[in-house]
Amino acid sequence: MINENLSDPIEVSLQTAEKWTKAYRGNQELEDASKKVNAFLIPRESLEAVLALKTDAVRAYMGINDKKEKTLIFVGANKDETGIYRDVFGTLGTEKDADLDEDISIVYDASRPCPPHGDPDSPLQN
């Protein structure tokens, strides 16, 4: 799995991201060494997509995806007039959802937890 192709889609619907972050916060199991995540492998494409939002900052939310892996969900953030950073979401293309008649908000993912996707020779991995 170390050299897994990172070809999963990087765009995730806000609805899916909400489900993943809720799963992460609701996960009460203790982490032993075999389940502990030390880092994340993040495809450049994910970072470039969230940076293209031209926001003041990027927030990374923790989630548990549908593969039951921990993941990072990237969201842009802009500072409002009160000094609070507010989430800024991308939109899926320029077309509106035909059923909802509104833009589909998206966030960015495709990160992979380390281990198992880590560099076994990295001094930071051990």
pLDDT value of residue 20: 84
Q: Are 73 and 42 in contact (CB under 8 A)?
A: no
Which regions in the chain score pLDDT beneath 50?
1-3, 94-97
Q: What gap in Å lies between CA 25 and CA 72, rounded to an integer?
A: 13
pLDDT at position 2: 45
Output the pTM of the full model: 0.69
Instruction: Sort residue 101 into left (φ over 0), alpha (ψ -120 to 50) or beta.
Output: left
Closest by Cα among 80, 17, 76 to 52:
76
Tokens 């990295």 belong to residue: 122
